[in-house]
């Protein structure tokens, strides 16, 4: 893994992992339209970490344990037919809300809320659900915050202590509240309390285990499968033990420490070299610096 990847593998990885480019205007931050976050906010640094690919998959695995959320995904999501498109849309949402102008972030959030308004159905317990239900939004939000932070702490380039973790949770609360989450967690203690309190509602349904099997083995070029296997092992290794047991996923702390972690670091380092800095971060930083000099 330490050696450079072949040109063919790099090309396939870029095609798979890189979302469609966004217009420059999305990141053209000005003094009058500065964006939701600034370069010294923790969210700015953490969302630039390549560990996000591990955190994103970990969040998806964890989300399957909410039966109602899983029912909505099973009935309405395109994860089976367009798994990488879903990844791209999530990455684009994070890029725009973290690094885009305020107007671009608000427009993206409004679009997501409109999509949520159309997602309704009947859950396995026979009760109706809707994607814009604050309880479902809170679950998805909490799993994403917890997962991106956990992945950054284990595999990120920077150190995130407890104070940084609290700042990240608070940063993400801004986005969560805009999406419709009522009173989102604003500290790590709040986040841990939410995840502890919701555990009695969580279990793996047949739909959840089907989704997990797909997430661990999605369609992709054969040459990328070894690297993806490392990412999946890292994501599973970050799940809490109760979640792994419920999803019938292997738990081997020794293998995680001795094999998965060092190999994951090598894969993510290769990704950093191959993909380079995030275009969103580069564009937003340049626009922010320019706005500061003009002001």
**What would the 3-class secondary structure string for 194-252 be?**
HHHHHHHHCCCCHHHHHHHHHHHCCCCCHHHHHHHHHHHHHHHHHCCHHHHHHCCCCCC
Mean pLDDT for 177-195 is 99
120-164 pLDDT tens trace: 999 878 888 999 999 999 999 999 999 999 999 999 999 999 999
Question: CA 38, CA 19: separation in Å to the nearest integer?
Answer: 23
How does pLDDT run across 199-234, given as a tens digit for each residue?
999 999 999 999 999 999 999 999 999 999 999 999
Q: Using DSSP, state whether 138 is helix, strand or coil.
A: helix
* pLDDT for res 1: 44
User: What pTM does this model have?
Assistant: 0.93
What does the CA dihedral 237, 238, 243, 248 come to, rounded to 10 degrees?
-20
pLDDT at 293 over 60: no
Instruction: Determine contact, residues 27/280, Cβ cutoff 8 Å.
Output: yes
The pLDDT value recorded for residue 63 is 96
Measure CA 35 to chain center: 20
CA distances from 145 to 1, 24, 31, 279 (A): 29, 27, 28, 22
Q: Which has more confidence, 278 or 117?
A: 117
Give the chain's length.
295
Rounded alpha-carbon distances, angstroms, from residue 259 to 230, 237, 241, 255: 10, 11, 18, 5
User: What mean pLDDT, rounded, does the chain reach?
Assistant: 92
How many angstroms separate the CA atoms of 184 and 176, rounded? 6
- For strands 128-130 and 120-122, give the pairing: antiparallel
210 vs 227: CA distance, rounded Å: 22
- Kindly indicate the confidence band of residue 292, based on its pLDDT and cuts at 50, 70 and 90: low
Q: Specify the pLDDT at position 2.
A: 44
pLDDT of residue 200: 97
Residue 275 CA to residue 270 CA, distance in Å, equals 9
Q: Using one digit for the tens of pLDDT, what is the confidence trace for 57-97?
A: 999 999 999 999 999 988 887 777 788 888 888 999 999 99
| Rounded-to-integer distance, Cα 14 and Cα 28, Å | 25
What is the C-alpha separation between 216 and 218, in angstroms, rounded? 6
CA pair distance 29, 23, nearest whole angstrom: 13
- pLDDT of residue 38 exceeding 60: yes
CB-based contacts of 218, cutoff 8 Å, min separation 6: 83, 84, 228
Closest to 280 in 3D by CA, of 152, 96, 157, 156: 96
CA Rg, the chain, in Å?
19
């Amino acid at each position: 893994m330490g050696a450079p990847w072949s040109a063919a593998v790099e090309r396939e990885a870029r095609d798979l992992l890189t979302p469609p480019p966004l217009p420059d205007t999305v990141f053209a931050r000005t003094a009058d339209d500065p964006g939701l976050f600034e370069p010294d906010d923790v969210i700015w640094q953490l969302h630039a970490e390549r560990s996000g690919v591990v955190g994103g998959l970990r969040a998806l695995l964890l989300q399957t344990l909410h039966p109602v959320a899983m029912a909505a995904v099973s009935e309405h999501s395109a994860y089976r037919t367009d798994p990488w498109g879903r990844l791209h849309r999530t990455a684009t949402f994070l890029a725009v809300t973290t690094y885009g102008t305020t107007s671009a972030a608000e427009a993206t959030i409004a679009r997501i809320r409109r999509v949520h308004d159309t997602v309704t159905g009947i859950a396995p317990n026979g009760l109706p659900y809707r994607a814009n239900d604050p309880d479902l939004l809170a679950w998805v939000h909490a799993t994403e915050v917890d997962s991106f932070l956990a992945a950054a702490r284990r595999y990120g380039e920077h150190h995130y202590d407890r104070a940084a973790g609290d700042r990240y949770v608070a940063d993400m609360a801004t986005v969560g509240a805009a999406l419709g989450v009522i009173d989102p967690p604003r500290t790590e203690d709040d986040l841990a309390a939410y995840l502890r309190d919701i555990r009695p509602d969580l279990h793996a349904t047949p739909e959840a285990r089907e989704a997990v099997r797909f997430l661990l083995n999605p369609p992709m070029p054969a040459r990328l499968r070894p690297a993806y296997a490392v990412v999946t092992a890292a994501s599973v290794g970050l799940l809490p033990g109760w979640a792994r047991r419920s999803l019938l996923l292997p738990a081997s702390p020794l293998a995680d420490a001795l094999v998965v972690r060092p190999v994951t670091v090598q894969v993510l380092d290769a990704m950093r070299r191959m993909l380079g800095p995030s275009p969103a971060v580069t564009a937003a930083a340049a626009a922010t610096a320019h706005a500061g000099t003009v002001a």
